Structure 1
Amino acid sequence: MELSFIFIIAVAVALFMGLNIGGNNAAASMGAAYGAKVRTKYQAVLLIGVFSVLGALIDGGEVIKTLGTGILPAGTIVLEGAIIAVAASGITVFLANILRVPISTSQAAVGSVVGIGFFYGASKINVTFIGYIISWWIITPILAWLLAYLMGKYLYTHILIWLADHHESDASIRKSLT
């Protein structure tokens, strides 16, 4: 079986994007646990790897559908356009990784699909749906902040007490309660 040059380029660009997603999202997902010394770097990487694959298999289809047909009509993006969109996303996330800035890879992906949509013709872009996505980009950090604050305020002490009661030998938990 002969591999076409465009297929090899597509795989290389997808691997580049995947590498950068790993660098960006793994840090965002496990940074707190690693920083608190709850997990070693090896454990964090292993957990991220396993659960990233599971998440993609179990729940990734809906996001793929959104990127594939929600922003632009199905069939609008041809293979070469998809390669450009993924390359643009990958470069964006790569630059953020170099600058050590955690960014949303979803925002980079949506932005690149919209960018290629402009190339194909702005009239094809589902502006209403883009507005819906952007509203969630605004809501999400506010919601996460609020949930973290409320959970910290109402659950943190209860969790520490429960842990102290069930793990008598852990002096660090008892120290946290004082």
Structure 2
Amino acid sequence: MTTLPLSILPERPEDAAPIERLHERAFGPGRFARTAFRLREGAEATPELCFTALVGTLLVGSIRLSPISLGEVPGLLLGPLAVDPAFEGRGIGAALIGRSLERAKADGHRLVILVGDEPYYARFGFARAPAGRLQMPAPVDPARLLAAELEPGALDGVAGQVVGRRG
């Protein structure tokens, strides 16, 4: 496998259009119907937790984290995480996740959830959320609702409706 000259940089306002095109390529038109998309409608992504991946000047990946409430507890929703299909399998998604979670932890955030595949996200500390404790705004396969504690014990006692929130 060839090593790519990859740069992970903070997302900038001028990245919005290229990121939207990336989302179209990576997720297609069905992305608007997903539960995670519905959660993000209620909250703007946290700018300091959003990053892009570039190979040279080509934007090939993006990650955003948005503020949510899990019952009464503040947290973050990871997503969307997108990698250009032509660049999948090269560690770009892992680099984006690592950078965003590192920054979230440094900024004092304690808990991150996402809807995704546990085998992929487990290496970043994600595991299935406790069954029945979190209610999403639309149906989600319980095996795909994952949580990562950025501080040990952050998920203890957390329960309730998951909703997007502003900053």
Answer yes or no: same fold by TM over 0.5.
no
TM-score (norm 2): 0.29
- Pick the structure with greater CA Rg: 1
Which is helix-richer, 1 or 2?
1
